[in-house]
Structure 1
Amino acid sequence: MSVITEVRIRPDDFELGQILGLEQASVIELETLVPSGDVTVPLFWVYEPVEKGFLEAVERYPTVNAVTEVDVFDDRTLIRLDWDASQDHLFQCILEHDGQILSASGSSGGWNFEIRFSDREALSQCQTCCEDAHISLEVTRIYNPTDPEAGPWYGLSEPQREALTLAIRRGYYDIPRGCTTAELADELGISDQAVTERLRRAIGTFGRYALLTPE
């Protein structure tokens, strides 16, 4: 039976963390992994206006073939990163043990990954692989998405459940909307951007655990 783990990793411990330096961005968040030939190309949201120097620094990295701006907004930019993941020991350990990256986000304090494995043995083997590659994984949570002992909230963290519950109660998802993210932010005591990110992750998490049960 599959298990999902949430891990935290220092940026310097894996190559992608080194490539996507966070000196000029508050948060980097994985949007999706897009197949491209024999490789999988990630799309990332980079929050805060992206300076030209950020993209140039990324493109200069030896394993990066190209970095492209896909969509540009005032507060965030979607970038496409074409790179050689075979040199990243973290990604290789995940792939070798049939792990699936469900979400990933990075800040100056570290990267958070949510990864699904076929069973606990595959997870354990991936951890050993990372240890051998001198990658320090801080496992913050392990659970089974269909196990009743995982709790009644479909994998939602307490902050995610709080934000999503408030948004529903205040009519944020009604037509027309009953409130704005700025109003939710004021009530939660966080930024408008943080509310948007938290609601998006909450909906994605709920959808995966409520609808996409393993075979």
Structure 2
Amino acid sequence: MPSIADFTLPATEFPLGRVFEDRPDATFELDRVVPSGDTVMPYFWVSDAGADMAAITALLTELPELRSAELLVDTGTKGLFRAEWEPEFMGIMAAIAATGVTVLTASGSADGWRFEIRATQLGQLSTFQRHCADSGVNVTLVRISQLTEAGSDTAYDLTPEQREALLLAFERGYYDDKRGVDQTELAAELGISRQAFASRLRRGYRALIGSTVAADSPPSD
């Protein structure tokens, strides 16, 4: 049965944590982690009300742990970046890529990092912890839980892509009264067209309604 575990990591033991030395009020939110050849390509948001994203970009490009760091979206108060790790400095990212676990959420501040990780196979989390220990990565297991069938990605007949689109739209405020983002911006985060993103939302709505509201409705005469 799939499991979800929360791990913490000291701020200085994750490469991006070096930014806190210059920007102690900055916060990070990893969006996606994509294995790519001998490295991984993470997408992450950086928020720092006291600095423009050009200053953050300059700090990131100076990190020896990164091959590259590109600013994709700049909202004025936060920025979406795409970065590539140097293989010898990947740390916990190497453990994630090597063991095949999935990062559900990850965030960091000067107080430390928190990773919510999903494992779909028996022993996968133990392998992940062992890989971290062997690499000198000081992770601490905070919580572990089993996913019930209703909490899995197949709940409500949603595909993983539909669930990803719906959650992203919710997290970015797409459904708020004062909408803070549009479909074009959300599609750009996923690397797909606006039309494809709109299709995922539409099909996701249909699946949710069909498995909840419509499923609970009495049959018509």
Q: TM-score range by the shorter chain?
A: 0.5 to 0.7
Equivalent residue for 2:82?
A: 80
Equivalent residue for 1:165?
A: none
1:82: Cα distance to partner? 2.6
Pairing 1:102–2:88 present:
no
Percentage of pairs with the same residue: 29
Range moving further from structure 2, 48-57 or 31-40: 31-40
Deviating 4+ runs (over 6 angstroms) = none
Secondary structure of the 1:119 match is: coil
Q: How does 1:30-69 map to 2 (within 5 A)?
A: 30-34=30-34, 39-48=39-48, 49-50=51-52, 52-69=54-71
* Alpha-carbon distance between aligned partners in 2 of 1:57 and 1:123, rounded to the nearest angstrom: 33
Distance 1:33 1:131, change over 3 A: closer
| TM-score (normalised: structure 2) | 0.59
| TM-score (normalised: structure 1) | 0.60
1:99: Cα distance to partner? 1.2
- The CA RMSD measured in Å over matched residues stands at 3.6
Structure 2 counterpart of 1:56, one-letter code: A
- Is the 2:44–2:80 Cα contact (8 Å) retained in structure 1? yes
1:45: Cα distance to partner? 0.9
* Alpha-carbon distance between aligned partners in 2 of 1:124 and 1:36, rounded to the nearest angstrom: 24
- Is the 1:8–1:110 Cα contact (8 Å) retained in structure 2? yes
* Alpha-carbon distance between aligned partners in 1 of 2:138 and 2:34, rounded to the nearest angstrom: 27
* Alpha-carbon distance between aligned partners in 2 of 1:147 and 1:86, rounded to the nearest angstrom: 38
1:51: Cα distance to partner? 5.3
- Is the 2:16–2:60 Cα contact (8 Å) retained in structure 1? no
Q: How does 1:1-215 map to 2 (within 5 A)?
A: 1-18=1-18, 20-21=19-20, 23-24=22-23, 25-34=25-34, 39-48=39-48, 49-50=51-52, 52-146=54-148, 173=175, 177=177
Structure 2: give runs of 5+ residues left out of the alignment.
Answer: 151-173, 180-203, 209-221
Which is higher, the Rg of structure 1 or of structure 2?
Answer: 2
